[in-house]
Amino acid sequence: MKPPPFSYHDPRSVADAVGLLTSLDNAKLLAGGQSLMPMLNMRYVLPDHVIDLNRVEGLSTITPRDGVLEIGAMTRQRDIEFSDVVGERCPLMAEAIRQVGHRQTRNRGTLGGSLCHLDPAAELVSVAAALDATVTVTGKSGTREIAFADFPIAYMTPAIEPDELLTAATFPCWPRGHGYGFVEFARRHGDFAIVSAAVLIEEDKTGKVTRASVTLGGMGPAPVRASEVERALIGEVIEEKRLRDICETLRKLDAIEDIHAPASYRQQLATVLPRRALIKAHERIAQGARA
């Protein structure tokens, strides 16, 4: 089994990559290759040109700035997993990334590749939605930023023009001491989730929730923010029974149906996984307060 014939390009700069994207027809960008290479091997995609980003300089960076973490598109998932600064500033991402594929795929797979491939059940896609990330894309008319909420325009289709490439994503960090939890259900470790829940909460001194972010992955064509639940949580004290009532409303979310699970099964998971993630987040706040 081998990929179909194509011309291979390995630019050294973002400008050269954009130049190639602008001048070549039917070109595909190759990042970590953990999704594109299988698709080439199985000939789901037949590009005339493959533009390999692995030799582009300056895209493998993890930069903490004031209140945000900027991560270059070609940063390997493995480097995110083992980054102290990610663990400190974006612990939700650190927890989620350990559930992305396996060691061998995380060594090659990149942040930018995951975000652009945009599998609706991909862990990093859910994390970007949960944290209200911003992605930076560069094309022939310059650089622009896209709020992650506007990034998926259809199933596995990002809002990137044909001459543009994603260079970085910026993740707003929640204050120290916040609670977080990433919980997914998959048949085997390393598989894409059937449904995942990514949650973040802040609590006041009396334990009442003051801010909440709840994201479900795997339900529809893109991760969904459960904004009704986020609002309902404000002022509540996290407690199992109350959470059951609040999360029960998630059963009415639209869900896809596929070989892995019927819609009703996903809707059931949508009521269970956020509750587990919220309890985890709450317990982490309590542990932090005791520590």
Which residues here bind another protein, judged by CB under 8 A? 1-8, 10, 30, 33-34, 37-38, 40-42, 50, 52, 54, 78, 101-105, 107-108, 188-190
CB of 148 to another protein, least distance (A): 26
CB of 5 to another protein, least distance (A): 5
- Residue closer to another protein by CB (options 15, 42) is 42
CB of 38 to another protein, least distance (A): 4
- Residue closer to another protein by CB (options 124, 199) is 124
90 residue type, one letter: C
- Residue closer to another protein by CB (options 187, 252) is 187
Residues 6+ apart with CB under 8 A from 171: 68, 69, 70, 71, 90, 93, 127, 128, 131, 133
- Residue closer to another protein by CB (options 55, 244) is 55
Q: Are 60 and 139 in contact (CB under 8 A)?
A: no
Residues 6+ apart with CB under 8 A from 43: 3, 4
CB of 9 to another protein, least distance (A): 9
Q: What SS3 state is found at 146?
A: strand
Closest C-alpha to 74, from 168, 158, 200 = 168
Give the pair of three-digit tokens for residue 21: 């994207």
Report the C-alpha gap between 113 and 109 in whole angstroms.
7
CB of 218 to another protein, least distance (A): 19
Give the pair of three-digit tokens for residue 145: 């930023």
- Residue closer to another protein by CB (options 10, 16) is 10
